[in-house]
Amino acid sequence: MNGPVRVRFAPSPTGHPHLGNIRTAFFNWLFARHNKGIFILRIEDTDQARKVDGATENIMSGLKWLGMDWDEGPYFQSQRLDMYQKYAQQLVDEGKAYYCFCPPERLDKMRQDQMARKLPPGYDRHCRELVEAQVDVEKRKGTVPVIRFKSPLEGKTAIADLIRGEVVFDNSTLDDFVLLKSDGYPTYHLANIVDDHFMEISHVLRAEEWLSSTPRHVLLYRALGWQPPHFAHLPMILGPDKSKLSKRHGATAINEYMDRGYLPEAMINFLALLGWSLDDKTEIMTVGEIIKNFSIERVSKTAAVFNIAKLDWMNGMYIRALGTQDFSDRSLPFVERGLPTGVKRPIDAGYLEKIAPLVQERAKLLSEVPSLVDFFFSDVLEYESSLLPGKLEKRQAIDVLKKTLQALDGIEGWRAGDLETSVRPLAEGLGLKTGPFFTVLRVAITGRTASPPLFETMEVLGRDGCLARLKVALDKLEPGQK
């Protein structure tokens, strides 16, 4: 197959797409972009019982958030039922598939027997050899059949997987799987290959869990006289404890990463390394670099390990690399959502921009920004008065506050430099080390012992705000002495 590269992401709309789904989408997208091919979005919505409202929108918003634009689609399998029915019927007509009238009770009993006898599960081919007359009798009774594929009873089916090499399956392990259900909907196997054929998919890149379905697909392609696409089954993603990735490892639906304030560029970089690598060492890459270098040859066979600590580290790197304005703009919705309800809305974007450079270094996630900046926005700080003296005596803390208030009272400018020039020497005058001296001021100004640089913080807060805070602090230590 030497035509253009055409790949697809084919999620089932059964909930929020999780990290594994999105990694599959991303590798397909990368492969398309690297090869100047076409990336198709196809919604495999044939399982009506498992369909979840809003899932398709979530899939699309997740892709858009990460910059994965699609060239065709979304196609919906539920709108293409005629096609699947047509090919299921063709296979029946050619004797390659058959009607099965087995009622659910019979199938249940068969499964229980198989379990009891420790036999592999699978249809026992009860209807495989029904003659036309028997089919007619059943149909006249009004029983609606399913259509099953006549899997070969012997021989082997080999798949040339682009990642795993040749994988061979014994046909005797494949049962006569359903192609068309009695409600007229196709199963995954039928719809998937009919679509891959007519959408001219050149490469199927999908999760390893689908590998066991692939011999069925290859047999179906053959039965229909079609050329199968190339297959590449992507490695599993495990948690750091090497068990299957789950919520326990911090891996959640993709929209939760968005809500927690991961940057899409960090997410993309991280996803790329879940099963692919440029070399043995490069960690930080732009999407352009990833596209340029992406190849199936460098997708690993062994499972990838998901490590949330690494993602957090990477996100911090990307946050620090943002321009201040950009950081502020991206933080704004988080601040809007995350500050206490008492704070006036809408949040003043210009004010946040002044604060942003003071906290940018310290945020690993955008969702941390509100708690880093909240004291800039509240008129009344909530903290215990015992926090103020820190290592000092209460008396000394009172002196720190009084002296600072005096010094600031007459000060002309309110720039960090001016503030520092007039305040820093006070420590020595009081015979105090700067550390404990500044702690008192820091708590008074920010309500906490760790904060962005004090004088820059004071500059942003402004004269009135700072003086009011220092007075409140003094009042906490010496009530009624103003």
Give the binding site for ligand GLU (CB under 6 A).
10-12, 44, 192, 206, 210
**What is the 8-class DSSP label of residue 143?**
P
Number of CB atoms found within 10 A of residue 251's CB: 19
- Distance in Å, CB of 206 to ligand GLU, minimum: 4
- Distance in Å, CB of 12 to ligand GLU, minimum: 4
Give yes or no for a cis peptide into 479 (omega within 30° of 0).
Answer: no
SS3 of 385-443 = HHHCCCCCCHHHHHHHHHHHHHHHHCCCCCCHHHHHHHHHHHHHHCCCCHHHHHHHHHH
301: nearest Cα among 377, 208, 178: 208
Identify which of residues 9 and 327 has a Cβ nearer to ligand GLU in the complex. Answer: 9
Identify which of residues 9 and 262 has a Cβ nearer to ligand GLU in the complex. Answer: 9
Helix ranges (DSSP H) in 300-410: 308-321, 324-338, 349-359, 369-377, 394-409
Identify which of residues 233 and 364 has a Cβ nearer to ligand GLU in the complex. Answer: 233
- Distance in Å, CB of 9 to ligand GLU, minimum: 8
Report the first-to-last Cα separation within the chain, whole angstroms.
Answer: 86
- Distance in Å, CB of 218 to ligand GLU, minimum: 13
- Distance in Å, CB of 270 to ligand GLU, minimum: 21
Indicate the burial class of 210 (C-beta count within 10 angstroms; 0-12, 13-18, 19 or more).
middle
- Distance in Å, CB of 355 to ligand GLU, minimum: 44
Number of CB atoms found within 10 A of residue 179's CB: 28
Identify which of residues 193 and 400 has a Cβ nearer to ligand GLU in the complex. Answer: 193
Helices vs. strands in the chain: H and E counts, helices first? 19, 12
Indicate the burial class of 386 (C-beta count within 10 angstroms; 0-12, 13-18, 19 or more).
exposed
Take residue 5 and report the two structure tokens written for it. Answer: 């590269």
Phi-psi region of 193 (alpha: psi -120 to 50; beta: other; left: phi over 0): alpha
Catalytic residue among 247, 292, 391, 394: 247
The question of whether 247 is a catalytic residue gets the answer yes
Take residue 459 and report the two structure tokens written for it. Answer: 């500059």
Identify which of residues 196 and 456 has a Cβ nearer to ligand GLU in the complex. Answer: 196
Specify the length of the chain in residues.
482
User: E strand or H helix at 206, and its extent?
Assistant: strand 203-207
Map tokens 């490069």 to a residue.
282
Identify which of residues 11 and 215 has a Cβ nearer to ligand GLU in the complex. Answer: 11
Identify which of residues 24 and 446 has a Cβ nearer to ligand GLU in the complex. Answer: 24
- Distance in Å, CB of 220 to ligand GLU, minimum: 13
Catalytic positions are 247
